[in-house]
Amino acid sequence: QGTATLQGIDIVGGALELLWLSRASSRIELRTLAGAHLREVALPGIGSTGGLVGAADQDEAYFQFTSFTTPSKIFRTSIASGDTELWHEVELPADTDGFMVEQVEYPSKDGTPISMFVVHRDDVVLGGNNPTLLTGYGGFGVSLTPTFSTAIVLWLEHGGVWAVPNLRGGGEYGEAWHEAGKRHNKQNVFDDFIGAAQWLIDNGYTRASKLGIRGGSNGGLLVGAVSTQRPELFGAVICAVPLLDMIRYHRFGAGPTWTSEYGSADDAADFRTLFAYSPYHHVEGRAHPPLLMLAADSDDRVDPMHARKHVAALQHNGDVALLRIERNAGHGGGDNTAAAVEQGVDVFAFLFDRLVVPH
């Protein structure tokens, strides 16, 4: 439906519920069982929900809502009247009232319009001096929608800007959007991300030396690629459990299952595409921004060899590159709160140091 993609359908309270993703934000539409539009369920703003939870023959239903600045809240709504009230919320020991979310649009290298969420304090000054963290994924049809994180609160409390572009390769705008960022189209994803960085700089949110980037797994490939293609744009890189040697990735871990997304170096045409952006193969000959690499020694999805050899290549090139390996951990990181806290401390200490964040 236009730029909206259908996420799910259910019957709740005698009505047909359609869960839409519109410009990477959730919408809930109610229709009659014959398909006629009734109304939309009023959501608190730009954010994400999994849809209504309720019985097919009962008027009362519930939905959970979250956003970049709103921890999870549960609302109760009437299907018949549309009356909605807050039913439960998570209390947060922080004030997020002074935070705001913008959704902007910028052209990528080929002119394709890309949407991006930009989160900051409402008193932000556009003088190019704000520490900014740009994150992304751009692959496998995964949609990045507004989701709350205490890391965002921490970053904004220290005057930072948090930015999330909806890159091609994701699912925010349907399967065609995914196809436009996979296999031989993969460079589009990197161009979209570079375009986001340039937009933030050109519009006064930050400057290159204050701009950090972060990505994990396929997002680790993303930040690895853009930091080798346009190293002058970034002041710091957080690269987590990444794919970086795209010529040999399919020989390790779960790599063989991803050839439909990336292609395989065993195919001549795919080899040319993969080699053109493979981060590990484009390190020598230029300086790169400081990098903190996060890996897990028991990662059976993305082999930690990617992280190890890329850091070795950067260090051999004379760049600042640190390798943090989580012991007895898999692709999702440590399995306890203490490990997550320790890694978070290391990540933000690195960013605060390299981007010169007052604290």
H, E, C per residue of 286-315 = CCCCCEEEEEECCCCCCCCHHHHHHHHHHH
Query: Do 168 and 220 fall into the same domain?
Result: yes
Residues in Cβ contact with 178 at an 8 Å cutoff, skipping those fewer than 6 apart: 140, 141, 168, 169, 170, 171
Is pLDDT of 337 > 90? no
Q: What is the pLDDT of residue 331?
A: 84
Which pair of structure tokens corresponds to residue 35?
């398909």
Q: What is the pLDDT of residue 359?
A: 84
Query: Do 186 and 299 fall into the same domain?
Result: yes
What is the number of structural domains in the chain?
A: 2
Please give the distance of CA 170 from its chain centroid, rounded to a whole number: 10
Check which CATH number belongs to the domain holding 252 and give it.
3.40.50.1820
Which pair of structure tokens corresponds to residue 237?
């890189």
284-305: average pLDDT:
94
Query: Do 53 and 125 fall into the same domain?
Result: no
Query: Do 79 and 189 fall into the same domain?
Result: no
Q: Is residue 94 in some structural domain?
A: no
Higher pLDDT, 336 or 119: 119
Query: Do 199 and 317 fall into the same domain?
Result: yes
**Domain carrying residue 248:** 99-354
Query: Do 47 and 184 fall into the same domain?
Result: no
Residue-wise pLDDT for 226-269, tens only, equals 999 999 999 999 999 999 999 999 999 899 999 999 999 999 99
Q: What is the largest CA-CA distance in the chain?
A: 67
Catalytic residue among 26, 48, 67, 217: 217
Q: Is residue 15 in some structural domain?
A: yes
Residue 217 appears among annotated catalytic residues: yes
Query: Do 161 and 231 fall into the same domain?
Result: yes
Catalytic residue among 250, 306, 310, 331: 331
Residue 331 appears among annotated catalytic residues: yes
